[in-house]
């Protein structure tokens, strides 16, 4: 049976893609996720290529990224021996996984870089026209950001 074109899904996929892009992913990630999430059955890369009208290379890279963050899951092999994928329905786990793998790592890098800045001698701060009070404020901001991230992860 030939699949009908569904402009409503295409439009929604476009919007979800834009939303996901806002959070640092690629638009294609959101489009793939939406099609897998709404689908009645798992899809292979070929079906996604047809639905989204994109290249095999883009689908392959995007599927790998989504698998890494556990946004999608492998669901075995299809009749032709191709890998099948479906969206991870545990959205709290998906968000938690992204926070752990991406934001937590970024927060660690920020803390390490800030630690180096805090160790600079006062004369270096003055020479570079850096306000010492702002460093203290930034320290509080970073600590609050870390607490907020940990709180969100604890809830999920």
pTM for the structure as a whole? 0.75
Q: Which residues of 12-23 are buried (b: 16+ CB within 10 A; e: fewer)?
A: bbeebbeebeee
Looking at the domain assignment, is residue 83 inside a domain?
yes
Query: In 3-state terms, what secondary structure has residue 100?
Result: helix
Residue that finishes a domain, picked among 64, 87, 110: 87
User: Is 111 in the same domain as 66?
Assistant: no
Tens-digit pLDDT profile for residues 11-61:
999 999 999 898 889 999 999 999 999 999 999 999 999 999 999 999 999
Looking at the domain assignment, is residue 1 inside a domain?
no
Tens-digit pLDDT profile for residues 103-118:
888 999 999 999 999 9
Domain encompassing residue 73: 7-87
User: Is 115 in the same domain as 133?
Assistant: yes
% of the chain surpassing 70 pLDDT: 97
User: Is 98 in the same domain as 55?
Assistant: no
Strands (E), the chain: 72-77, 83-87
Residue that finishes a domain, picked among 87, 117, 135: 87
């Amino acid at each position: 049976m030939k699949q009908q074109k569904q402009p409503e899904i295409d439009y929604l996929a476009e919007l979800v893609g834009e939303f996901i892009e806002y959070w640092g992913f690629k638009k294609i990630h959101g489009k793939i996720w939406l099609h897998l999430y709404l689908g009645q059955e798992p899809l292979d890369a070929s079906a996604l290529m047809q639905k989204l009208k994109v290249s095999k290379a883009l689908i392959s890279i995007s599927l790998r990224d989504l698998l890494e963050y556990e946004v999608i899951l492998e669901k075995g092999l299809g009749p032709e021996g191709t890998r099948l994928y479906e969206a991870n329905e545990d959205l709290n786990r998906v968000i938690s996984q992204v926070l752990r793998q991406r934001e937590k790592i970024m927060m660690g890098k920020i803390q390490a870089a800030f630690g180096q800045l805090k160790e600079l001698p006062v004369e270096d701060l003055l020479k570079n026209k850096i306000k010492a009070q702002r460093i203290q404020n930034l320290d509080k901001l970073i600590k609050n950001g870390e607490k907020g991230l940990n709180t969100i992860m604890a809830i999920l």
